[in-house]
Structure 1
Amino acid sequence: MRPEDRKDPTAAFPDGPPPAPGEHRTDPPSRRARIHQILEQPSRTDRLSWAVELGLIALVLANVIGVALETEPALHAEYRWEFFLFDALSVGIFTVEYALRLWVSPEGNPRKPPWRARLRYARTPMALVDLVAILPFYLALVFPLNLQALRVLRLFRVYKLARYSPALAVLMSVIREEAASLAAAFSILAILLVFAATGAYFVERAAQPENFGSIPEAMWWAIVTLTTVGYGDVTPVTAAGRIFGAFVTVLGVGVAALPAGILASGLADHLRRRRDHLRIQFRLALEDGKMDLTEGRAIERLRGELGISHDIARAIYDEVLLKRRRDGEVVCPRCGHRIRRAEPAE
């Protein structure tokens, strides 16, 4: 492959490759489609969408810092008005963002009527996060609610970063894929929790009625012991209680680690499948021996959607290219005819 074919095609044509002879450009996207592209399909090659994404990320981070600083009584008393103005400005921007995302949602689901597409989007997790991020401000203006609790609810705005973080998106995908396994693991943990609390209740209720007077009261000790946290605020004092507590601790070492093991295994498998998908696209693009600008732009877009770094993508590309060379296939640069390299004579 020539060096010029390995350049990033997105840098040369930010608006797409030039049309082929006889080919006409399609009409520019509508206003709604353009806003949908900016908000839902940001790209570093699109300066406006990239600026909007960075601005929203900075605003979310500033809101989290502001909520944390506002809990300091001295700062809140001195800068109460500034905190309110910043919160009002942030809510205004987030409200416009939420309204625009709701308005352009039919672009992502064109087969459904607009009202149904908007209703479906409004029920998505990220749309609910956007709503929770602005709802406390408006509730405080209408109803006499606890302002301290509403200020804490503003911390939910940090979850808006999940839309811009590939790592959080991957984690959410893994949780959805492993939902059945996680539910089974938590079910086993719940059963053992009841078992441990019941056993501790029977062996320790006479010696410590204030801590083990009932099964619900013993559940605090059970969950702390099963998770091997061991705060030490409640401990068995009888010989039978200590023996039972040791058994529960050993049992909890394996059982409490089940959800973490499922997530770790699912995460590794998910990342492997993402890289395999990118590897397949590289192989398809290199079938003719080179990668043109259109193929490069498509793969770069896919790389961003999959959350794969440039270094890993380059390593996958080099791996595919090296494998093609090892296979001994030579492609004529003029006609594209494939020639199998002759085996060396022994």
Structure 2
Amino acid sequence: MGLRRHVYHQLFARADRSDKLTLFNRFMIVVILAAVAVTIVATEPKIFRPHRELFIALEMTFGLIFGVEYVGRIWSVAEEAGDEPAWKARLRFMVTPLALIDLIVVVAALMPFFFSDVALLRIVRLIRLAALAKFGRFSAALRELVRALAERRYELLVTMALAACLLLFGASSLYWAERHVQPDAFGSIPRALWWAIITLTTVGYGDASPITPLGKFLASIVALSGIGLVAMPTGIMASAFSDAMQRQRGAEEDKQTDT
């Protein structure tokens, strides 16, 4: 096995194939968890300020590891090029969603090398939470769930369209009913849209609420509609998750039967 083929196997082996997670992929899972943990802890000023140099050193270390992994993937992906030029296979890989996430994580982690602005570093640390999305490369169950959700995309789009209609209805009706008595909260449809979002999602902050009888009646309709609106995507996603788990169990049973 050549060096590039060996690197390709270490980086691109997937749990949903016959091969299991490689040693390097297991190492990367540990690194990703550590990087996310450091990112979360670093948002607490009382912890970050006394240990600023340590946190920056850890961020740079994670950035170098992610950078080496990213370069290794670009270099070794030419193994699957076949008859086409290697640069085409590498370019095609570089524009995939997971490769773009890798690039964002690398750039965000290496930013302390080039910038010292504290405000910018705070934003960068939050961006580095994108490292968590790299687990999609290692989790067959997550890929099955994404596939199941993609199969339900039309149902989810219908739900989103219905939600948009309900939001517009709620904001327009409360604007019509309350605009004269509460101009600050309902003086325009965009202002009333905030109340509609909070009500339909059943959050209910209470910073804006109707006070007229007509407004309360219309708000009751919107609030009751919100219960069904929340239940619809929840049911669709629960069904998709169940289908994904059943498909995964079926695949595992088929493998056991074949062996």
Q: TM-score normalised to the size of structure 1?
A: 0.67
**Residue in structure 2 matching 1:260, options 224, 234, 249:** 234
Aligned to 1:170: 144
**Which structure: larger Rg?**
1
Aligned to 1:299: none
Q: Over residues 133-189 of structure 1, what are the superposed CA-to-partner deviations in whole Å (9 max), with x where a residue is unaligned?
A: 111244554467622212221222222222223343232222322223222221221
Single out whichever of 248-257 and 144-153 deviates more from structure 2.
144-153
**Residue in structure 1 matching 2:202, options 200, 206, 228:** 228
Aligned to 1:72: 44
Aligned to 1:200: 174
Offset at 1:277?
A: 4.4
**Residue in structure 2 matching 1:212, options 186, 200, 203:** 186
Q: Over residues 190-209 of structure 1, what are the superposed CA-to-partner deviations in whole Å (9 max), with x where a residue is unaligned?
A: 12111111111111111211
Q: Distance in 2 between matches of 1:38 and 1:240?
A: 65
Q: Distance in 2 between matches of 1:204 and 1:190?
A: 21
Offset at 1:64?
A: 1.4
Aligned to 1:239: 213
Matched, 1:189 2:177: no
Aligned to 2:67: 95
> For 1:222, what is the secondary structure of its paired residue?
helix
The residue identity in structure 2 corresponding to 1:194 is: L
Q: Decide which structure has greater helix share.
A: 2
Shift in alpha-carbon separation, 1:226–1:74, aligned structure 2, 3 A:
closer
Q: Distance in 2 between matches of 1:165 and 1:263?
A: 18
Structure 1 residues 124-139: aligned runs within 5 Å: 124-139=96-111
The residue identity in structure 2 corresponding to 1:100 is: G
The residue identity in structure 2 corresponding to 1:250 is: L
Q: Distance in 2 between matches of 1:155 and 1:281?
A: 35
> For 2:22, what is the secondary structure of its paired residue?
helix
Matched-pair contact (CA < 8 Å) for 1:106–1:112: no
**Residue in structure 2 matching 1:60, options 14, 32, 51:** 32
The residue identity in structure 2 corresponding to 1:265 is: S
Q: Distance in 1 between matches of 2:31 and 2:255?
A: 36
- Aligned-pair identity in percent equals 35
Aligned to 1:317: none
Offset at 1:225?
A: 1.4
Offset at 1:57?
A: 1.2
Q: Distance in 2 between matches of 1:103 and 1:59?
A: 21
4+ residue runs over 3 A deviation: 137-145, 273-283
Matched-pair contact (CA < 8 Å) for 1:162–1:169: yes
Q: Distance in 1 between matches of 2:22 and 2:132?
A: 19
Shift in alpha-carbon separation, 1:276–1:51, aligned structure 2, 3 A:
closer
Aligned to 2:225: 251
Q: Distance in 2 between matches of 1:138 and 1:62?
A: 16
The root-mean-square deviation of aligned C-alpha atoms, in Å, is: 2.5
Offset at 1:278?
A: 4.7
Matched-pair contact (CA < 8 Å) for 1:36–1:107: yes
Matched, 1:30 2:36: no
> For 1:257, what is the secondary structure of its paired residue?
helix
Q: Over residues 108-142 of structure 1, what are the superposed CA-to-partner deviations in whole Å (9 max), with x where a residue is unaligned?
A: 45354322221221122211111111112445544
The residue identity in structure 2 corresponding to 1:39 is: L
The residue identity in structure 1 corresponding to 2:225 is: L
Alignment: residue pair count: 255
Single out whichever of 78-87 and 143-152 deviates more from structure 2.
143-152
Structure 1 residues 9-24: aligned runs within 5 Å: none
Offset at 1:234?
A: 1.5
Q: Distance in 2 between matches of 1:149 and 1:179?
A: 32
